[in-house]
């Protein structure tokens, strides 16, 4: 599919009708559909084509799921092979050759300690279900109840996963500070901020009157995704591993979003060299179809048969697509490629930040990149940070869409523009993404008053 956008004519009635019916029939809780009013009908690689004939560069990638982009030939081939073989598509948690091959491929990518002595549990198909499974596992193994999680985290929308996420309203999960350079909770940032965050955690664990009983586990993301693309320093991750090992607290690492090459290593834990007790995996491991698992040390395997059940744990198409994806990323060194290309894109984003005072920070790891949009008129605080500007960020997202670029917003205030392109993009595609983003920034700044100004008059429509 060509990169250049087709010249859109007036949106055909089908397109408008589908969007209208969506807004009438679908729930008020719909999310992406609100900020991205498009009707995808075809997709390949980085490109999505809408029912209105417009083409978009998709840097949302199914919320970071599509490591190989849309409809990659190896994924389609793997799916077709299963379909043509007559294999059952639905098998609960029974053994099959397709599942066996998936596990073999997955284990080949894992750190030795987990690959050799790891166990795998197939979970209900979403990442959040694997998070729930991880919590049940460590609670059973330790006989303890409490959990520790980090500010800004996102682990899913089921009860326990949400309780461990930053957006929780009622939670008994103990919240720890996550190192966030730009908005450092300790006002220092850098290595010092990460060090203080680690000390706070240690003091909670060791102070007998901290009010925090021994936890059953600690859960963290190596790079917070939904929290605003915040990479944890490797040294801090090693500290968390030391603290938890010394106190025999299982460490759960959620690689639902960071896994399968996204951050420039096959698994993000490889950057720091830590090996968790439980690894939570979903999104890209299913090669664009729903699949979620936990892999954990066998010492933790103390739960009873059926302790974490679920009907949809045997999606054969997802396992085949996932195996093909894992193998393709490994064989083609796409993790390394993501690291190199991501570094180049980050350098260009840094230059963009120098030219736009509405960019407070740019950061990321590999092809997980974030641009924090801030109030350009506000004073910086003592650490140099300025207040987030969610309205301008939304205007940037809209302006991107107008220019045929799909980006996601994340972060504490929905003011971080997130780029999660497929690992397969070319250098030219990366440039096209950044050109459109730069142009959208300029346009959004021109048309959007600061947070204290009047409401923006938007003339934007989904068709020009
Ligand atoms: N963990 C992380 C790190 C995630 O980013 C997400 C989803 N964005 C989840 C868990 C939950 O996955 P799902 O939406 O498939 O339940």
> For residue range 256-304, what is the model confidence (pLDDT) as tens digits?
999 999 999 999 999 999 999 999 999 999 999 999 999 999 999 999 9
Q: Which of 435, 436, 430 is nearest to 406 (CA)?
A: 436
Q: Is the CB of 368 under 6 A from ligand 1?
A: no
Whether ligand 1 lies within 6 angstroms of the CB of 181 is answered as no
With 80 as the cut, is the pLDDT of residue 26 above it? Answer: yes
Q: Could you tell me which residue, 212 or 400, shows the higher pLDDT? A: 400
* Same domain? 400 vs 319: no
221 within ligand 1 shell (Cβ under 6 A): yes
DSSP string, 8-39: --SPPHHHHHHHHHHHHHS-TT--HHHH----
Going by pLDDT thresholds of 50, 70 and 90, the confidence category of residue 9 is: low
Together in a domain, 296 and 438 = no
* CA 257 to ligand 1 centroid distance, Å: 7
Confidence of residue 453 (pLDDT cuts 50, 70, 90): low
The closest residue, in CA terms, to atom 10 on ligand 1 is: 155
The residue range of the domain holding 402 is: 25-58+334-447
Q: Is 386 in the pocket of ligand 1 (CB under 6 A)?
A: no
Integer Cα distance of 31 and 52 in angstroms: 21
- The band of 14, judged by pLDDT with boundaries at 50, 70 and 90, is confident
Is residue 320 located within the same domain as residue 391? no
Same domain for 375 and 305: no
107: pLDDT confidence band, cut at 50, 70 and 90? very high
- What is the whole-number distance in angstroms between the Cα of residue 280 and the centre of ligand 1? 10
Return the ligand 1 atom nearest residue 153 CA: 3
- Per the domain annotation, does 10 fall within a domain? no
Å from CA of 378 to ligand 1 middle: 33
**Domain-terminating residue out of 305, 331, 357:** 331
Checking if the pLDDT of 7 tops 60, the result is no
- The answer to whether residue 120 scores a pLDDT higher than 60 is yes
Asked if residue 343 and residue 327 are part of one domain, the reply reads no
What are the CA-CA distances from residue 76 to residues 287, 313, 425 (Å)? 10, 21, 18
pLDDT tens figures, 378-428: 999 988 899 999 999 999 999 999 999 999 999 999 999 999 999 999 999
Q: How far is Cα 340 from Cα 439, in angstroms, rounded to an integer? A: 24
Residue 342 within any structural domain of the chain:
yes
Count of CA atoms in the C-beta half-sphere (13 A) of 301? 13
Same-domain status, 152 and 182 = yes
pTM given for the model: 0.94
What is the Cα–Cα distance from 175 to 164, expressed in whole angstroms? 8
What distance in angstroms lies between residue 357's CA and the mean position of ligand 1's atoms?
Answer: 32
CATH code of 308's domain: 3.40.640.10
User: Strand, coil or helix: what is 150?
Assistant: strand
Contact between 229 and 416 (Cβ < 8 Å): yes
- Cβ(256) – ligand 1 distance below 6 Å: yes
Structure tokens at 242: 């030391």
Give the pLDDT score at 258: 98
Residue 101 shares a structural domain with residue 232: yes
Burial grade of 117 (CB within 10 A; 0-12, 13-18, 19 or more): exposed
* 113 & 207 share domain: yes
Mean predicted confidence (pLDDT) in 353-376:
97
Q: Are residues 348 and 280 in the same domain?
A: no
User: If you measure from the C-alpha of residue 287 to the centroid of ligand 1, how many angstroms do you get, rounded to a whole number?
Assistant: 15
Which pairs from 270-276 meet CB under 8 Å and 24+ separation?
270/111, 271/222, 271/234, 271/237, 271/365, 272/222, 272/234, 272/235, 272/237, 272/238, 272/241, 273/234, 273/238, 274/237, 274/238, 274/240, 274/241, 275/111, 275/113, 275/114, 275/241, 276/241, 276/251, 276/252
Per-chain mean pLDDT for the chain: 94
Q: Is 8 contained in some domain? A: no
Does one domain contain both 222 and 130?
A: yes
Whether the CA torsion 335, 338, 339, 341 is positive or negative: it is positive
**135/238 same-domain check:** yes
Atom 5, ligand 1: residue with shortest CA distance: 257
Does the beta carbon of 226 lie inside 6 Å of ligand 1?
yes
| 179 within ligand 1 shell (Cβ under 6 A) | no
Residue 447 has pLDDT above 90, yes or no: yes
pLDDT digits (tens, 9 = 90+) for 160-201: 999 999 989 888 899 999 999 999 999 998 999 999 999 999
Residue 92 per-residue DSSP state:
T
**97 or 8: which leads in pLDDT:** 97
CB atoms near residue 107 (< 10 Å): 14
Ligand 1 touching residue 282 (CB < 6 A)? yes
The reply to whether 323 and 340 lie within a common domain is: no
Taking the C-alpha atoms of residue 321 and residue 327, their distance in angstroms, rounded to an integer, is 10
Residue 135 has pLDDT above 70, yes or no: yes
- What pLDDT does 164 receive? 96
CA distance 174 to 165: 11
Q: How many whole angstroms from 225 Cα to the centroid of ligand 1?
A: 9
Asked if pLDDT for residue 5 goes beyond 70, the answer is no
168 assigned to some structural domain? yes
Distance CA 220, CA 151 (A): 10
- Report the residue among 127, 178, 229 best suited for mutation to probe ligand 1: largest number of ligand atoms under 8 A from its CB: 127
């Amino acid at each position: 599919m060509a990169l250049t956008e087709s010249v859109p004519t007036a949106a055909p009635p089908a397109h408008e009708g589908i969007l209208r019916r969506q807004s009438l029939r679908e729930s008020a809780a719909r999310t992406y559909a609100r900020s991205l009013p498009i009707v995808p009908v075809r997709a390949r690689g980085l490109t999505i084509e809408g029912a209105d004939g417009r083409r978009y560069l998709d840097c949302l990638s199914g919320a970071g799921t599509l490591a190989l982009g849309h409809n990659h030939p190896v994924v389609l081939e793997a799916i077709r092979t299963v379909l043509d073989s007559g294999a059952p598509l639905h098998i609960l948690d029974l053994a099959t050759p397709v599942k066996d091959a998936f596990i073999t491929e997955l284990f080949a990518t894992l750190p030795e300690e987990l690959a050799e002595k790891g166990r795998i549990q197939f979970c209900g198909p979403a990442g959040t279900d694997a998070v729930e499974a991880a919590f049940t596992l460590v609670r059973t193994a330790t006989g303890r109840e409490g959990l520790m999680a980090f500010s800004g985290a996102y682990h899913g929308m089921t009860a326990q996963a949400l309780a461990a996420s930053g957006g929780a309203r009622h939670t008994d999960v103990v919240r720890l500070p996550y190192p966030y350079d730009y908005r450092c909770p300790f006002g220092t940032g850098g290595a010092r901020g990460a060090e203080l965050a680690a000390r706070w955690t240690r003091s909670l664990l060791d102070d007998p009157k901290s009010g925090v009983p021994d936890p059953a586990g600690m859960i963290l993301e190596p790079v917070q995704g939904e929290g605003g693309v915040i990479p944890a320093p490797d040294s801090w991750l090693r500290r968390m591993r030391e603290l938890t090992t010394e106190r025999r607290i299982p460490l759960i690492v959620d690689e639902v979003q960071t896994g399968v090459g996204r951050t420039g290593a096959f698994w993000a834990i490889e950057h720091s060299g830590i090996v968790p007790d439980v690894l939570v995996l979903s999104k890209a491991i299913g090669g664009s179809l729903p699949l979620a698992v936990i892999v954990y040390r066998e010492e933790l395997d103390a739960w009873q048969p059926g302790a974490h059940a679920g009907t949809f744990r045997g999606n054969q198409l997802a396992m085949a697509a996932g195996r093909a994806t894992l193998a393709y990323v490994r064989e083609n060194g796409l993790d390394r490629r993501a690291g190199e290309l991501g570094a180049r894109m980050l350098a260009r984003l840094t230059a963009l930040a120098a030219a736009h005072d509405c960019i407070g920070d740019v950061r990321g790891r590999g092809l997980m990149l974030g641009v924090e949009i801030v109030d350009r008129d506000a004073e910086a605080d003592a650490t140099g940070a300025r207040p987030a500007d969610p309205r301008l960020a939304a205007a940037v997202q809209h302006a991107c869409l107008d220019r045929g670029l799909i980006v996601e917003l994340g972060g504490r205030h929905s003011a971080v523009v997130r780029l999660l392109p497929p690992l397969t993009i070319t250098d030219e595609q990366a440039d096209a993404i950044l050109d459109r983003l730069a142009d959208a920034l300029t346009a959004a700044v021109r048309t959007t008053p600061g947070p204290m100004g009047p409401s923006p008059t938007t003339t934007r429509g989904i068709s020009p």
